[in-house]
Amino acid sequence: MTSPYIVAVGGTLRPNSSTEWAMRHVLAAAERAGARTKLISGAQLQLPLYQPENQERGEGARFLVAELSRADGIIVGSPGYHGSISGLVKNALDYAEDLRTDARPYFSGRAVGCIATAGGWPGAVNTLGALRDIVHALRGWPTPLGAAINSAECVFDAQGTCQVPRVGEILDMMAEEVMSFVHRRA
């Protein structure tokens, strides 16, 4: 097998959000394990609202769907807004419907690491549960380990370095689980 391709989707419109830093951490761990990676976050997620009846897709939506189609493994990260995933991330995931006729429909046969960040544990845990439910609905395999991160704590510094050792360990383990699944499927 060539180097696995891992795609991370999520975050906020704010550059260097805690969700983006967490996804970058997982991608860096996957790269150290030999993966090629792509982060789709921030302004790249500013897509028109998904409309299944409208087949027209802009460049950004076509790019997102193509990258998800190519992915051997996926990381999905969302901030917790009012106890669930953000509209920005949900809209991006709705575009996975365009993969319904793909050789691997939706997220079939792929491990998906889920990351939720929120300004408190209840929001992070609820958001993680919602992400896992969506991944199941998209026929993906959520990794056994998901990451609920309380961003009210200072988890990442201004350069994106994880300041909480246990969070770093969890994100590294998530990368290991995605990579392990990819290698077993190969």
Q: Could you read off the pLDDT of 31-41 as tens digits, one per residue?
A: 999 999 999 99
pLDDT of the residue at 75: 98
Residue 132, classed as helix, strand or coil, is helix
pLDDT digits (tens, 9 = 90+) for 101-116: 999 999 999 999 999 9
Helix (H) or strand (E) run with residue 181 in it: helix 165-185
Kind plus residue range of the DSSP H or E element containing 141: strand 141-142
Q: Whole-prediction pTM value?
A: 0.97
pLDDT value of residue 37: 98
| CA–CA dist 135, 108 (Å, integer) | 10
pLDDT computed for residue 2 by the predictor: 86
Q: Which residues contact 109 (CB under 8 A, 6 or more apart)?
A: 141, 185
Q: Tell me the per-residue pLDDT of 71-111, one tens digit each, with 9 for 90 and over.
A: 999 999 999 999 999 999 999 999 999 999 999 999 999 99
82: phi then psi, degrees, rounded to nearest 5: 55, 40
CA distance 40 to 9: 5
- Over residues 47-72, the pLDDT tens digits come to 999 999 999 999 999 999 999 999 99
> What does the pLDDT read at residue 1?
58
The pLDDT score that the predictor gives to residue 128 is: 98
- List the structure tokens of 156: 């990442």
Given a cut of 90, whether residue 186 has pLDDT beyond it is no
- Give CA angle at 41 (3, 64), nearest 5°: 65
State pLDDT tens for residues 136-161. 999 999 999 999 999 999 999 999 99
Q: Which residues pair with 7 in a beta bridge?
A: 38, 74
What the chain holds in terms of domains, given with CATH numbers, is 5-185 (3.40.50.360)
Tens-place pLDDT, residues 4-38: 999 999 999 999 999 999 999 999 999 999 999 99
Give the distance between the most distant pair of CA atoms in the chain.
46
The DSSP secondary-structure symbol of 58 reads -
How many other CB atoms are found less than 10 A from the CB of residue 20? 24
